[in-house]
A and B are shown apart, each in its own frame.
Chain A
């Protein structure tokens, strides 16, 4: 946590020198860091999912984003957002992206606006994703390229949490057992027929709650989730 705080301060100072700062990014950096010994349900979370082309942040693009907030241990659907990214201005559009995009162009927003909307939603909330390296990599690159903003937020990763829980049980972890759908089945969560960034964000949020409710004792503290 101390390290986290130092990195956070460094990032804030670095961004403070930026010539064209965005107010919502400022606010995000100014918002206080979570207390690691607070009960999980007293903290606000933002379950988040990105759809990308490819797995390489430097060579792929974010196609859409979905998110939903968890407040007081319950998912608030009025905070749910599903943004399709307008890819017309992106360099090196591939045909495959176009195929997805052409029909949806009227819904598309520019990546920059989408990132600012996300930053707004993240104020005082901790992001939750399933498989952190991917989402974090894409967000880090995108925020850096668009705003010169250093992405340093703490994140909860349901895949890592679930791996930790399963390995504590001393059973071998089957191949595929950590996929979102497989994890959900272990908690009696339903299969969703459609997959897009928003349903996957909701799926991830539900998994996170289920994980927390099964944590044992009086439930996890914020520090246990990171």
Chain B
């Protein structure tokens, strides 16, 4: 008898694997063969896999949970049942990464050679690994949010208006209460103690299907001693408990008292807070109102993220991704009405949208580049398109730019050739007013359309600015317009009167000065990146700025952005109108000191600009 011709029935394992990524992309017969090549291992809580682990390959969690941590021991991701990790792949992205078990775990292991072979033969399977780069981007947004998301306390998610019943009630009494309250479960209490739970399914399978009548006592058909979760537990704990035990209802306890109940749909709703879902939903809307509807939830997300300690630059990244999506969708909707564009064009984002540094009250700053092939008659199409999109953005909350820097303004809607001429004019004869007005146009990013147009304009700009010391000096004097709000003895200088009395404007006096200093440095160094933190990193790499100065400015900017985020989150929670103003006296002492430090760094950086461009400053 030949052992190898016997086909082992590994159905239980194949069934599990079939439903996990990326194996769901494999054909059935292949799956069977893959399972035969797997190994199963059991490891205890605290076990570590790292680059020293002799067997490298794909590890799939059958039970248990694992945390991925980087060299600095920061949590990158947390994986549960059905999720997998390939350490050698992750190590290429993130040297020093390790996987630490946080529960006793059963792991399925697929040796490296086997899945490399699968990758070479199955495109869909390969894509899962191949897309490491895009997966990283995806993770970068998810990573910041999903741990926070999953670590959310249960308090806000559970239903608290509990439907309870005494232990001696009859089935039909309970069914009536459940019907009246429109719920799918009821908690059975005995002297205020939870002794059981009854769900729709119990009524179906233990009463109706068995032909029992409604007079049966509820304790005979309930599920006794249900599994519960502590109120201070997290969404993660609850999800784990429910998936592991196949539960649809999970009572929430505070000590001995039942205070709420969670259902599987609560978990799904909670997951929808994920910005990835939000962006997906936005791109499916068919009208402006639909987009507005989806955007209504964004302020709440901002509050959650702020509470979870998501870094402000990540929040800005997400919010910018959202406004990019809104812009693109509005352009698509306008085009479905007006028809395809007659010639290529590119929609540009300026300022904070280009830099991916938006928060919620951003107004719109945008422009349009039209291909030089355009004819006089075709220009009308673009006038209509831009007007429709700008109006749409305004009604979605990205209000019209007070300085009129918008694609619907003909001044900001030109052919590439006209743009080049305009840039040349700006640069050869700058005036203080013109520089202030156009400086944001040097933070430029293509949002929709022919990106080649955007990059041609940008490289033209970089080239011209770099060779014009006059223009650099004009930018420098613009940078020095706003001084940080520190008086003598390092007291904060706050507004004396008006709407924002006793407040200081974080954006205008702190964030924008840094943005402008860094923009000047980056443009003179010919750096095409526009995000301020990235510009700061590139300036160090190109030896245009000392590591020390760059770090200081990064820290100051991060801190100011974080304070601004908290300020906005508070304003949302309090129902106040959004602004960038903050009363320093309301800050905790430490934060106040840090704010002072941040402003001092801005001051120092401005002084160094003044020294460097003294001759040109006139």
Contact = CB atoms under 8 A, between A and B. Distances in A.
Interface of A: 73-78, 80-83, 109, 113, 116-117, 120-121, 187-190, 192-194, 196, 198-199, 202, 205-206, 209-210, 213-214
B37 A78 contact: yes
Contacts of B6: 81-83
Given A196-B9, A213-B44, A206 B36 contact: no
A138 B43 CA distance: 33
Given A82-B8, A190-B63, A206 B106 contact: yes
A177 B21 CA distance: 35
A187 B62 CA distance: 13
Contacts of A188: 63-64, 103-106
B3 A117 contact: yes
B590 interface: no
Classify the interface of chain B: helix, strand, loop or mixed: mixed
Given A109-B1, A117-B1, A77 B104 contact: no
Contact of B41 (A75, A109, A117, A192): A75
Contacts of B81: 190
19 contacts: A74-B40, A74-B41, A75-B40, A76-B39, A77-B8, A77-B38, A77-B40, A78-B36, A80-B36, A188-B63, A188-B104, A189-B42, A190-B244, A194-B12, A198-B10, A199-B12, A206-B106, A209-B41, A210-B42
A198 B8 contact: yes
A77 B42 contact: no
B3 A120 contact: yes
Contact of A213 (B3, B11, B42, B62): B42
Contacts of A83: 6
Given A74-B40, A77-B39, 20 more contacts: A75-B39, A76-B39, A77-B38, A78-B36, A78-B37, A80-B8, A80-B10, A80-B36, A81-B6, A82-B8, A117-B1, A121-B3, A188-B105, A188-B106, A190-B244, A193-B15, A196-B9, A199-B11, A206-B42, A209-B40
Given A188-B105, A190-B62, A190-B106, A77 B3 contact: no
Contact of A193 (B3, B10, B12, B109): B12
Contacts of A198: 8-10
B507 to A, nearest CB: 51
A82 to B, nearest CB: 5
A113 to B, nearest CB: 5
Contacts of A80: 8, 10, 36
B36 A77 contact: yes
Contact of A81 (B3, B37, B38, B106): B3
Classify the interface of chain A: helix, strand, loop or mixed: mixed
A206 B12 CA distance: 14
Contacts of A77: 8, 10, 13, 35-40
Given A77-B10, A192-B12, A213 B109 contact: no
A76 B63 CA distance: 18
B60 to A, nearest CB: 12
A187 B42 contact: yes
Nearest to B103: A188
Contacts of A73: 41
B8 A81 contact: yes
Contact of A202 (B1, B3, B37, B40): B40
B13 to A, nearest CB: 7
Nearest to B107: A74
Interface in B26-49: 35-44
B133 to A, nearest CB: 32
A113 B1 contact: yes
A75 B40 CA distance: 5
A187 B104 contact: yes
Contacts of A196: 9
Given A80-B8, A198-B10, A213 B39 contact: no
A83 B3 CA distance: 10
Nearest to A193: B12
Nearest to A70: B40
Nearest to B3: A117
Contacts of A109: 1
A113 B5 CA distance: 14
Contact of B42 (A116, A121, A209): A209
B1 A116 contact: yes
A77 B36 CA distance: 5
6 closest A-B pairs by beta carbon, nearest first, are: A75-B40, A209-B42, A80-B8, A188-B104, A190-B63, A74-B39
Contacts of B244: 190
A77 B39 CA distance: 6
A130 B13 CA distance: 20
Contacts of A192: 12
A95 B522 CA distance: 87
A73 B42 CA distance: 9
Contacts of B43: 213
A80 B7 CA distance: 9
A195 B11 CA distance: 10
Contacts of B15: 193
B40 A205 contact: yes
Nearest to A195: B12
Interface in B77-105: 81, 103-105
B145 to A, nearest CB: 28
B15 to A, nearest CB: 8
B339 to A, nearest CB: 56
B80 to A, nearest CB: 12
Interface in B210-229: none
Most chain B CB within 10 A, of A80, A113, A214, is at A80
A102 B13 CA distance: 26
Contacts of B63: 188-190
Nearest to A194: B12
